[in-house]
Amino acid sequence: MSRIGKKHIELPSGVEVKVGDEVVEVKGPKGALTTPRHAKVAYAVEGNQVNITRVDESRAAREQHGLRRTLLANCVEGVTKGYQKELEVVGVGYKLQVQGKSVVLSVGYSHPVNFPLPAGIEAKAEGNKLTIMGIDKQLVGEVAAQIRRVRPPEPFKGKGIKYANEHIRRKAGKSGGKK
């Protein structure tokens, strides 16, 4: 039995779950999200909790049991609290700005990089820190990863865009003057 799959999901006040044929819709104070349904997993909304069970004991049902429960729990948490990722820009002269629905990065290229934010994502800049916020966990993580890819941190000086909790392993530079 899946340890994660057999846990029930508590629904906070103001959150509504509607199970459809193809998707499960979750509505809350911050917005609405949907997650796809699988035929081998059954959803039961009882009062203020959702229980997810397998239809049979096949391999596909066992694979999907914990996954579908986690996806639904992420939707419930997203519409109540939301998600955020923090990035840091490290380097002399490196800076960032949020202009409307885009992030402008000056990270050592000959031109500033303009990164448009997708719908449902907000950004906030404070000094050299950038906070990406939204209700969809997957989308928040993907946008943060795409911004980091503009200038990933390098191992010698640590310059670049990194996650706030990321540790960069440093390498030794050239060891000059050996005889």
CATH number at residue 135: 3.90.930.12
The pLDDT score that the predictor gives to residue 3 is: 86
Residues 29 and 97 in one domain: no
Tens-digit pLDDT profile for residues 130-157: 999 999 999 999 999 999 999 999 999 9
Question: Containing domain of residue 156, as a range?
Answer: 83-163
Q: Does the residue 92 lie in any domain? A: yes
Q: Does the residue 3 lie in any domain? A: no
Residues 91 and 156 in one domain: yes
Distance of CA 101 to the CA centre of its chain: 18
pTM: 0.89
Strand runs labelled E in 37-159? 41-46, 49-54, 83-90, 95-99, 102-106, 113-116, 121-126, 129-134
Lookup: tokens for 7: 């846990």
